[in-house]
Amino acid sequence: AQSVTQLGSHVSVSEGALVLLRCNYSSSVPPYLFWYVQYPNQGLQLLLKYTTGATLVKGINGFEAEFKKSETSFHLTKPSAHMSDAAEYFCAVSPGGSFGNEKLTFGTGTRLTIIP
Amino acid sequence: KAGVTQTPRYLIKTRGQQVTLSCSPISGHRSVSWYQQTPGQGLQFLFEYFSETQRNKGNFPGRFSGRQFSNSRSEMNVSTLELGDSALYLCASSSYARAPPLGEQYFGPGTRLTVT
């Protein structure tokens, strides 16, 4: 079984400040980890993913995340927040690596507000 | 490439009716997954189809069903609608052009279903 916990349902940061969105996961098999962003009235857009290899992954729009197995974490960061980053962010896990295991389990989401 | 498309985008139905939602995956993608998004329960996996076969199923009642056609397009049906079925229904497609699959899913804009 897999699960994802996102700490903080709402996060507010000032424009230009560091963005840090927290995600911890539980998985009985090596996980694939994802961050998705959702803008109002839209679907989910993939920001970045970790499958294997380098634990620091870079995504679109200046976001990056680091896979820390010892801490079972996959926190999302961005050095400098922009007004356009305001959205809801979802962390997700899947038991990837083999066919038939593509089900994504999502966290409850973090709504990011950018203060001008 | 065109993205995942879902029709209709908005739908209003009455309790007891049934509804069919449609999803066209990205060209070449053979896997289609469906998710339900509600404020209370978040994003929940409904089912996944690959090559016209249901491979994974979430924990939803039998009123929720789906199918996939030979061109990978998928439909989702909900019978005997209940007020609690009001939600955003998201479709996602995946490609298996390489092995092992990377697990990343590309989402459509969703169908907003309102049950009155």
Alpha carbon distance, N-terminus to C-terminus of chain A: 41
pLDDT of residue A100: 57
Say if CB B9 and CB B114 are below 8 A apart. no
pLDDT of the residue at A86: 97
**Span B4-21, average pLDDT:** 97
* Mean pLDDT (whole number) for B21-40: 93
Lookup result for tokens 């927290």: A22
Q: Mind telling me how many Å the CA of B71 is from chain A's nearest CA?
A: 19
State both tokens at A46.
Answer: 């993939």
Q: Which helix (H) or strand (E) holds A14?
A: strand A10-14
Compute the mean pLDDT over every residue in chain A, rounded to the nearest whole number.
91
Phi, psi of A84 (to 5 degrees): -70, -5
Beta strands in chain B (DSSP E): 5-7, 10-13, 19-24, 31-38, 42-50, 53-57, 64-68, 74-78, 87-94, 106-107, 111-115
Using CA coordinates, name the residue in chain B closest to A34.
B104
Which pLDDT score is estimated for A11? Answer: 97
Tokens of B103: 């697990």
Amino acid symbol at B13: K
Q: What is the mean pLDDT of residues B82-95?
A: 94
- Let me know: does B46 contact A105? Beta carbons within 8 Å: no
Averaged over B96-115, what is the pLDDT?
79
- Our CA-based measurement puts residue B95 at a distance from the nearest CA of chain A, in whole angstroms, of 11
Q: What share of chain B is helix, strand, coil (3-state, %, to 5)?
A: 5, 50, 45
Q: Which of B44, B31, B98, B27 is nearest to A102 (CA)?
A: B31
State the pLDDT confidence band at A52, using cuts at 50, 70 and 90: confident
Q: Which residues does chain A have within 8 Å of residue B4's beta carbon, measured at their own beta carbons?
A: 43
Q: Average of pLDDT values for B55-76?
A: 95
In whole numbers, what is the pLDDT of chain B averaged over residues? 91
DSSP conformational letter for B51: T
Spatial contact of A93 and A104, defined as CB atoms under 8 Å apart = yes
Residue A83: is its pLDDT beyond 70? yes
Contact B101, A32 (CB under 8 A): no
Of B4, B45, B110, the CB nearest to A103: B45
Q: Which residue, chain included where needed, has tokens 């840090």?
A: A20
Most A CBs within 10 Å: which of B102, B106, B112, as the mutation test of the A interface? B102
In angstroms, the separation between the Cα of residue B28 and the nearest Cα of chain A is 17
Q: Indicate whether B101 pLDDT > 60.
A: no
Cβ proximity of A2 and A95 under 8 Å: yes
Mean pLDDT value of segment A76-94? 96
Please give the structure tokens belonging to residue B14: 């009455």
Cβ contact (<8 Å) for A43 and B56?
no
Q: Beta strand pairing status for A87-94 and A105-106? A: antiparallel
Residue B103 pLDDT grade (very low, low, confident, very high; cuts 50, 70, 90): low
pLDDT of residue B24: 97
For chain A, percent of residues with pLDDT exceeding 70: 94
- List of chain A residues whose C-beta atoms are within 8 Å of the C-beta of residue B45: 103-105
User: Smallest Cβ distance to B90: which of A44, A100, A102?
Assistant: A44
Report the gap between the CA of A68 and the closest CA in chain B (Å): 19
pLDDT reading at A66 higher than 90 = yes
